[in-house]
Amino acid sequence: MIDAKTGAEPRSARRAEPRLTVVSGPSGVGKSSVLAEVRRLAPEIYFSVSATTRPPRAGEIDGVHYHFVEEAEFERMIASGEMLEYARYAGNLYGTPRKPVEDALAAGRPALLEIEVQGARQVRRAMPEAQLVMLVPPSWEVLVSRLNGRGTEDPEVVERRLAAAREELAAQSEFDATVVNEDVQVAARELLRLILGQDR
């Protein structure tokens, strides 16, 4: 179907270009588990590695989970135009280095960014062809219990993340698609179909 106003084909009809997919979702929704499964199912997808000023959590490796940088280095990257987008979230800076994403797309690989909503909005402006997907919990109660059960964060951080989660979920209508993470396998396959452009 063609959009009467814009004359554009719906996103699902466009297949030729590898696409950039942005996945957002509140802290505690299970993004890491779902994305780990997507990565296992489709190693051809390029997963962007963000830069952040947040200190590493136990088990996180510099250059793999994030590029852990000082605030001054982050500011330098912004000033030199190296960031495709960036945002401050729960007191720390997070941003997507532009070049690896552009290189992956140019090489024909679908690319995936896992970022928060302010960043997703910036990507939408910079690359209107990007597809925005929000991963949501089956219910608010599930999200609260997952965040409390994680045990890696102190209560104040959990509170801040819940406040941010409420705001993120309110932005759902700005996204092209929503995937409910009730079951990791099901959510991963649904997301994979969207990333690879096999949404029907």
Contact between 21 and ligand 5GP (CB under 6 A)? no
Tell me the C-alpha distance between 166 and 163, whole Å.
5
Contact between 175 and ligand 5GP (CB under 6 A)? no
Give the up-direction half-sphere exposure of residue 71: CA atoms within 13 A in the CB hemisphere. Answer: 3
Among 20, 22, 87, 135, binds ligand 5GP (CB under 6 A): 87
Identify which of residues 87 and 191 has a Cβ nearer to ligand 5GP in the complex: 87
Among 95, 110, 137, 197, binds ligand 5GP (CB under 6 A): 95
Among 53, 94, 133, 147, binds ligand 5GP (CB under 6 A): 94
Longest dimension (CA), the chain: 51
Beta bridge partners of 52: 68, 94
Contact between 37 and ligand 5GP (CB under 6 A)? no
Identify which of residues 54 and 146 has a Cβ nearer to ligand 5GP in the complex: 54
Contact between 27 and ligand 5GP (CB under 6 A)? yes
- Does the CA dihedral 184-185-189-190 come out positive or negative? negative
Q: In Å, what is the CA distance from 139 to each residue of 26, 28, 135, 155, 164?
A: 12, 12, 12, 21, 16
Contact between 53 and ligand 5GP (CB under 6 A)? no
